[in-house]
Structure 1
Amino acid sequence: MTFVDPSAGRHQVPLRELESWGLAWDSYDPAVHGELPIPAFYPAARVANWWGCTLSLDDLLDLAQVHGIPVAWVPDRALLRTLAAAGDHDDKVAVLVAAESKIRVLCSDRLDECTNEWVSGEVEAGRKALAAWSDGHHEAAACLALAGLEQILYRITWAKPRSHAELRRIGAEKPNGYLPARQHALAPLATLYAKYYPENGDPMPDNLSRHAVLHHLPLDHLSPGNCIIAVMLFVSIIRQYHEHAEEIRQDMIAQAAD
């Protein structure tokens, strides 16, 4: 069975065709079609780690928006497939814990790609979180990741500082069909910023909760799985921030050339 890249031979990206191109790209299965390079226009509508994962945008959104598990930039396509096939939330978190060493390497690789000087401080913080994780200090890594994450979110979403409800709303938005990558990167915010007021009798969230960690610090919530998700999300958003910074840089270069 042959896979046909709809963008092959094209030299421009027509926005109106990106959605259909994306659906065709999503059908690529390396087990069926063999290993193929990522099409040149694929990053315009997708994220590199989705290539060959065989999951639909809805499958990816379910992992991110319902379970709070990052899907943009990390993990790799094999782990994405395994996560989607796992049963309930606990089963999916167990997949992450079993792949802890692999995920840590993937996170380090993604930080290596963040060469824009505008994100250098965040990259350093990401490396320190990975170092703490590597040394066995999962809780410290998660707390650093969540603290560092928030300042980036206000830069790339334009939400007002301390507008946690706004970040939750942004995470819950439905992505468009032709440029879904950014929304999928932000989708874990839907559960990360879910309301949690223990003084009102709210139960401890199953998903990683920013409010639980930074305001109440229940150590049982900082399980190995939730700590892995925290660092993954930090790295995912740093990598997305790098893309954002590079787009601004290219716009500035284009304007200077006019």
Structure 2
Amino acid sequence: MSNKGEEPEEGSEPESVDPFGLARAFQPLTDYYRSIFADLLRPMVETYMSTTRIGETIGRRLAEAAGVNAMLRETFEPLHEHFREYWRGVFETLGSLKDAIYPPNLRAATPSVEEFEQLLLEEGIPLMWVPGPKIVRALLDAPDAIGRRRAIGRRWKGIVSDCEAVIADVDHPDLKDARGFGLDCVSALRDGHSNPAQALAANLLDSLMRAHFDEPDRRKLTSNKKGKAKFDLNDYEVRVALTFAPVWYAHAEYWPKNGDPIPHVFGRHPSAHGVSRTQYSRINAVYALMLVTSVLKFFDVELER
């Protein structure tokens, strides 16, 4: 750690990410169709929007990805032949919105808003980039949180392989060291060393957040305090929201000095300050690996090159 007041060397500052302005995944497209279809799209999308508290931002974009293309096709197909080529290009562009929002592991399952809310915010299960499509399907088909945790426990080897494939694909130069440590987590888990894997994954997550977000944004993404407002997905672009909702969950408040019980689910704070058989387990190490893999891939996609 550098001394207080020490000036960093020129060029040594890591690139930070603005979680409130990340729109490269789909912003040009949304600007385009808003300018043309604003009045037309609104009633169509609202028909399909969720009424849960996640609300407009997430609901609208997931609805668009799921069904607006087909609805528009039905609306405009009868137009004169002169316009058909033009609208065909628009339909193809709108059809690509789904690929812009979802990473490959989610494109077959396309979870609903309610499913995202439950798994990401209520259970802290990462879904962006990992796990693979078959395991995502198993999680969505599980009857409850206990069933999903058991599914992750039964399929841990496959999940570790999914994480390894995603981490190995990270190639941003600023993430070279983090990629190596992520693969160390994979090796440790695969070799039966789940406790070191969990500890390393928890600390790698913290290091990534500190390296690539400024302090106010990092605090907002990790401030999970008792009695305070939940992480609001509407505060962020969709990819940011879906990646960092389980990060927020993993930062649930934990104070040993206040006598807080050590949680049995994975947490960043109890992994550091509540080392115990309650917190440390193979299944929690898998959660930690999935989480850091998702965040690492997010930065690989979003950091400028």
TM range (shorter): 0.7 to 0.9
* Shift in Å, 1:157: 3.6
Kept after mapping to 2: 8 A contact 1:73/1:110 = yes
Kept after mapping to 1: 8 A contact 2:221/2:248 = no
Q: TM-score, normalised by structure 1?
A: 0.76
Compare 104-113 and 196-205 and name the one that shifted more.
196-205
Structure-2 separation of matches of 1:26 and 1:112:
30
Could you give the per-residue CA deviations for residues 175-197 of structure 1, whole angstroms, max 9, x where no partner exists? 24994121111111232111112
Structure-1 separation of matches of 2:232 and 2:297:
21
| Unmatched segments (≥5 aa) in structure 2 | 1-27, 35-40, 42-56, 68-94
1:110 equivalent to 2:166? Answer: yes
Kept after mapping to 2: 8 A contact 1:172/1:189 = no
1:25 equivalent to 2:65? Answer: yes
Structure-2 separation of matches of 1:51 and 1:168:
30
1:228 equivalent to 2:268? Answer: no
Q: Which residue of the other structure, out of 167, 174, 193, is the alignment partner of 1:137?
A: 193
Q: Give 2:30's aligned residue.
A: 14
Q: 1:178 to 1:137 in 2, by over 3 A?
A: closer
Q: What is the count of residue pairs matched by the alignment?
A: 225
Structure-1 separation of matches of 2:289 and 2:61:
32
Could you give the per-residue CA deviations for residues 36-66 of structure 1, whole angstroms, max 9, x where no partner exists? xxx6443432322210114113312321111
Compare 96-105 and 189-198 and name the one that shifted more.
189-198
Structure-1 separation of matches of 2:209 and 2:235:
23
* Shift in Å, 1:218: 1.1
Percent identity, aligned pairs only, is 22
Structure-1 separation of matches of 2:261 and 2:132:
32
1:128 equivalent to 2:184? Answer: yes
Q: Which residue of the other structure, out of 251, 260, 280, is the alignment partner of 1:202?
A: 260
Kept after mapping to 2: 8 A contact 1:55/1:81 = no
What amino acid maps onto 1:192 in structure 2?
A
| Unmatched segments (≥5 aa) in structure 1 | 1-11, 28-38, 250-258
| Superposed counterparts of 1:244-255, under 5 Å | 244-245=302-303, 248-249=304-305
* Shift in Å, 1:93: 1.2
Q: Which residue of the other structure, out of 155, 164, 182, is the alignment partner of 1:99?
A: 155
Q: 1:167 to 1:177 in 2, by over 3 A?
A: closer
| Superposed counterparts of 1:1-258, under 5 Å | 13-15=29-31, 16=34, 22-26=62-66, 40-159=96-215, 167-169=222-224, 172-176=230-234, 179-245=237-303, 248-249=304-305
What amino acid maps onto 2:102 in structure 1?
R
* Shift in Å, 1:129: 0.6
* Shift in Å, 1:86: 2.1
Structure-2 separation of matches of 1:159 and 1:59:
30
Structure-1 separation of matches of 2:161 and 2:232:
31
Q: Which has the larger radius of gyration?
A: 2
Kept after mapping to 2: 8 A contact 1:165/1:193 = no
Kept after mapping to 2: 8 A contact 1:65/1:191 = yes
